[in-house]
Amino acid sequence: MTGPEESVEARLERILRDFGTRLGALLRGYRLERHGVDPADIEQEVRIRLWKAIERDRSGAFHASYVQKVVATTVIDALRRAEVRAAEPLPEDDDEPGQLPEDGVSPEQSASDGERMSGLQRCLGEIPERRRLPITMHLQGFSLQEIADVVGVSAEAARKLVSRGLDELKSRLRELGYGDFDD
């Protein structure tokens, strides 16, 4: 009577394989290789760790949060290894993109950015933290729902906080002479 067991096993293997593929796509989508990690390595290591965990613990319930934790731990470990490698002297490898900023910045732009960054930092510092966090999270790339979940407010409240905060920030930057960010 191994028919049903085999199909369950095969299904689990397929889902685990799909999960690895999806993880690899997300790692590449978020360009984690910028941080010195190899998405393929992480994908493989996550699959191995998950399979070991599945085989090790056959009694208790398997939670999605545990799967997430395995992914996070594996990525953090890979980042730590990458950091150690980065600290070591590297052989000549001009093809590697290295740790350059994500966008190419000209010297003129860099000088201008320096001023604007100082202005931005100053303006953000003037906003109380509770109101500043949704703005900075939004500027960092979090969606409104993600901001709401982390900060602990509704999505609508997050939208209002971000919208008002951005208006306030832009006005203050303009007042201080850092230009109009509309352009």
Partner 1 sequence: MVISMIDNSLSSLYRRLNAQPEGRAEGLLDADTLVAAAAGSLSGDRRDEVAARLSRSSLQTDLVRMLRELAPDAETLAQAVNERKVQPHLRGGRSTRHAAVFARQRPAVLRWSGFAACLAVAIGVVSWHQHGVRSDEAAMIAAMEAAARPDRIFTSNDRIFSMKLDHSAHASEDRVFNSSFNGG
Residue 45 CB, nearest distance to partner 1 (Å)? 14
Q: How many whole angstroms separate alpha carbon 152 and alpha carbon 19?
A: 29
Does 67 help bind partner 1 (rule: CB under 8 A)?
yes
Does 64 help bind partner 1 (rule: CB under 8 A)?
yes
CB closer to partner 1, 94 vs 105 = 105
Does 73 help bind partner 1 (rule: CB under 8 A)?
yes
Does 116 help bind partner 1 (rule: CB under 8 A)?
yes
Q: What is the DSSP string of 97-162?
A: -TT--SS---HHHHHHHHHHHHHHHHHHHHS-HHHHHHHHHHHHT--HHHHHHHHTS-HHHHHHHH
Does 68 help bind partner 1 (rule: CB under 8 A)?
yes
Does 66 help bind partner 1 (rule: CB under 8 A)?
yes
Instruction: State which of positions 35-54 bind partner 1 (CB under 8 A).
Output: 35-36, 50, 54
Does 141 help bind partner 1 (rule: CB under 8 A)?
yes
Residue 90 CB, nearest distance to partner 1 (Å)? 16
Going from the C-alpha of 170 to that of each of 72, 112, 121, 160, the distances in angstroms are 35, 17, 12, 15
